[in-house]
Amino acid sequence: ELSKRLETVGRFVPEAARLADIGSDHAYLPVALMLKGKIDFAVAGEVVKGPFESAKRQVMKNGLSERIEVRLANGLDAIEKHDQISAITIAGMGGSLIRDILEAGRQNQRLSGEERLILQPNIGEKTLRTWLKENNYQIIAEEIIEENKKIYEIIVAEKKEQPIDYSEKELMFGPFLLEDKNATFSAKWQRELKQREVILEQLKNASEQNRYETIQQEVEWIKEVL
Ligand code: SAM
C-alpha cells in the first residue's frame, strides 16, 4: 500500500509510461505502479548505496527485475537515451535539490524535454516553480494534500513552446492551488503566516532590512489569499 503522498504522485504518471523515479529509496512507487499495470518500464535511480540495495531487493521480491531497472546514479544520470523515458518522478526531497537535479540533467542532456515531470518537494516549492518557468515548463496540474499532519504539494509540468509568464504570487502559491484555495491550502498558509510573523518580530531590531521587506511582502500576499 502506497502512502497517500506517493499515491497522489502516481496518479499523475500517464498510462503505459516509461518512468524514471529519481531518489527512489525502496522503489515503492515504480513497484506499485508496475503491479497495477499502469506503467510499461521503469528506472529506479538512487545515489546512496543503502537505499539502492533496498530498491533492488524490493524489485526482486516482486519479480519485476525484467521491467524495473535499479541504477546507482546521481540524479538524472540514471537515465539513458535508449530508455525512452516519458515521465520522471522526483519526490520527498527539498525543492532546491529537485531543482539542482533537473538543472544538472538539462545541462548534461539527460532531459529530452519530452518527459512529463511529477515533482513533490517537501519545501522550496517556489524555487522549483521558478526553475520550471525559466525553462519553459508549463504547470499542468497541482495538488496539495495532508498526511500524518504534514502538508505536501505535488507539481506536474510539461515543456511547451509557449511558456506561461507566471507571476511572483503564482510561483509562491502555485497557479492551480491559488485558483482552488481548498482547506489544506488554507491550513498550510495559516501556518506559514504564523511562522513569518514570528520571524518579523525577531527581525524588527536587526539590521536585515532586505530580509524584513521580503518577508513582509510575503505576509501581505498570504493575508490577501487567505
Ligand atoms: N522518493 C521516495 C519517496 O518520496 O518516498 C524517497 C524519498 S527519500 C526521503 C529521498 C531519497 O533521495 C533518498 O533515498 C536519497 O538517497 C535520494 N537522493 C538524494 N539525492 C539524490 C540524487 N542526487 N540522486 C538520486 N537520489 C538522490
74 C-alpha vs ligand 1 centroid, how far in Å?
10
Q: What span, in angstroms and rounded, lies between the C-alpha atoms of 209 and 222?
A: 20
Q: What is the pLDDT of residue 205?
A: 80
Taking the whole predicted model, whether its pTM rises above 0.95 is answered as: yes
Are residues 222 and 193 in contact, defined by beta-carbon separation less than 8 angstroms?
yes
Report whether residue 102 contacts ligand 1, using a CB cutoff of 6 Å: no
Ligand 1 pocket residue status of 53, Cβ below 6 Å: no
Query: What are the pLDDT tens digits along the chain (226 aa)?
Result: 899 999 999 999 999 999 999 999 999 999 999 999 999 999 999 999 999 999 999 999 999 999 999 999 999 999 999 999 999 999 999 999 999 999 999 999 999 999 999 999 999 999 999 999 999 999 999 999 999 999 999 999 999 988 899 999 999 999 999 999 999 999 999 999 999 999 999 988 877 888 899 999 999 999 999 9
Determine the distance separating the centroid of ligand 1 and the alpha carbon of 136, expressed in angstroms.
25
CB 86 within 8 A of CB 14: yes
Top mutation candidate among 24, 25, 97, 154 for ligand 1, by most atoms within 8 Å of CB: 25
pLDDT score of 197:
96
Query: Contact, 121 vs 155, CB < 8 A?
Result: yes
**pLDDT of res. 208:** 80
Report the pLDDT value the prediction gives residue 109, as an integer from 0 to 100: 96
pLDDT at site 209: 84
In SS3 terms, the chain reads as CCCHHHHHHHHCCCCCEEEEEECCCCCHHHHHHHHCCCEEEEEEEECCHHHHHHHHHHHHHCCCCCCEEEEECCHHHHCCHHHCCCEEEEEEECHHHHHHHHHHHHHCCCCCCCCEEEEEECCCHHHHHHHHHHCCEEEEEEEEEEECCEEEEEEEEEECCCCCCCCHHHHHHCHHHHHHCCHHHHHHHHHHHHHHHHHHHHHCCCCCHHHHHHHHHHHHHHHHHC
